Structure 1
Amino acid sequence: MKHLTSTDLQAWLTAVTDPRATAANLLSWIEGPLRAFFPFRGVVLGHGELVAGQLKITHMLASGLDAEYLQQIATTFELAQRGALQWWLANRQPFLIDPKNPPRYASVFEVTEIEKFGLCNVAGHGVLNVKANAGTYFGFIGVRTPLSEWHLEALRLLTPVLNDLFLANIASREESMGIDGNRSAVIGELTTRERSIVRHLAEGLSNKSIARALGTSEKTVRNQLARIYAHLGVRKRSELIVLLK
């Protein structure tokens, strides 16, 4: 099986020393230098808490994923529903899922989800804080084939750095939200079109009205809102409105 080479390690060193490798530029770093080292189509970063066999996602960021997939991710679910995640919590080792030949610990639910949304190969790892009964999890979607030991070694290498940046990103966002309601700071993280959508949403406009105001389709507005939710770590319209107040 393919393993990391000196060229791969140099690519990782280049990614780690990139100026975008900061909490403030987390998504830019993931979509640029990290993707160059560890090719993928999309990624979900989650922070959650485990209580009595139930996992609650408290923070989430995503990149490169369809709105339909993001919208169906449950914020609270029984751990037994996701066998790969359950296996990861027990073993604290990275895992790979090829839907054509899934590992025995992958649940029917997970494999069906991968096939339904065309996620292709999935690679996952994270960092668990046993004392706090909480942790971070990173799921990379559409990783390159063939799956090999290379992916597992790469995940072991990148996860500690990604964990530190993600936790710092969460802390920074929570601090900025708590200072003064900081509407401008939140909107400043978005593109020009996304800021327009958020401003219309804050005014109480429906998706249909926003689409009419921007000269686009309602479906496009829904998709852009899903990306905004993922970028700002909120799950729905009401949470975004609270964030903007």
Structure 2
Amino acid sequence: MVSAVADGCLRVPVLLPPVWRALPWRALGAAAGAGLAAAAVARLVPGGPDPAFALVLLRCAAVAFALGLAFLLDDPARHITAAVPTRRAVRTGLRMALAVPLAAVCWTVALLLIPGRTRPPAGDVTLEAAVLAALALTGAAAAVRCTDEPQPGAAVAVTSAAGTALALLLPERWALFVAAGSPDWAVAHQRWAALLALTVAAGTALLPEPLRRGPSLALRPPH
């Protein structure tokens, strides 16, 4: 196991250029543009947005960035690259290592686009964005592990968007998207933190190839 990891690390410099070129830049760029555009609306409001509207704009930006990351593991050449000696976990980890910092930069810009006097607590709303991103990446990892679909991003994005919409309907005692200043704000973000831990654990478990390849599922976005 250790030797396999070491071998994978040695291959990273060789893998960097092709992995960089293979990233789904159109989807990532479109998501980044949509998210930054949502946050930039705050600069168009005379006198700045009120805190409630600022929070809505940042949450819209977070959803947009997460939907872009749902496409991160799309690989039209998947059935060819599956035969390469480098393990899937290394290839997937490298994609994340390249894309996630760029997403973090976009998120930082989105935060700065919100005037400081109306910006919601940056740490808490960043936690929300991190969970949404982690859920999208975990969904993509699950799709790659459980299906033979080379480009599952569209289906993962639809599922992520539907899950976010359903989260808005949670009863008050389990609410995640609470208003800034609400007495439930701190408790809700404890739930966000727990969800992040569970999502990261699940995503990590999904990275390696399965020991036994069972029947694959067909994965197509709904029409």
TM-score, structure 1 as length reference: 0.28
The structure that is strand-richer by fraction is: 1
**Whose relative contact order is higher, 1 or 2, with alpha carbons under 8 Å and at least 6 apart?**
2
The structure that is helix-richer by fraction is: 2
